[in-house]
Amino acid sequence: MKKIMIAALALLTVLAFSIPATAADLNNASGTVAFGGASYDMSNAVYVDYSNDVPTNAQYYGISTVHSGGNRMFATTSETSVIWWRTVVKGCADPDNIDETWTSGQFSTPWFSL
């Protein structure tokens, strides 16, 4: 029974991310957004920009987010295991469109790793 539950959990995890969101779904979105076949309610004033526009590999992604009440933007890509941040002007509601293929070496100043 334990092996069946582990297999079912693994299958559900794969299925959750097998339906990619498009850039139009999460391009500077706020409120309720659809991602990976599910809907997520974000806190008020949280904005996200997600892109997966690399035609040669649909697994590439770039994502950034910002809270307009704060002064930091966070971002990452499929090509780095690091979450990056940079300072922004308080009230910013337009997260950067991060290139999906950026590696850690391409996040340069003003970006810093967590």
Q: How many domains does the chain have?
A: 1
Judge whether 28 lies within some domain: yes
Q: Which of 43, 24, 47, 29 is nearest to 93 (CA)?
A: 47
Judge whether 15 lies within some domain: no
How confident is the model over 58-79, as pLDDT tens digits? 788 888 989 888 999 999 999 9
Share of the chain above pLDDT 90, in %: 20
Cα–Cα dist 70/46, whole Å? 10
Judge whether 11 lies within some domain: no
Is pLDDT of 15 > 50? no
pTM for the whole structure: 0.69
- Is 50:98 a contact under the CB 8 Å cutoff? no
- Is 107:114 a contact under the CB 8 Å cutoff? no
Residue ranges making up the domain that contains 91: 20-113
Judge whether 14 lies within some domain: no
- pLDDT for 48 equals 85
Q: Which of the four pLDDT bands, split at 50, 70 and 90, describes residue 5? A: low
Q: Which residue has the higher pLDDT, 76 or 6?
A: 76
How confident is the model over 33-57, as pLDDT tens digits? 776 677 777 778 888 888 887 778 8
Helix (H, G, I), strand (E, B) or coil at 98: coil
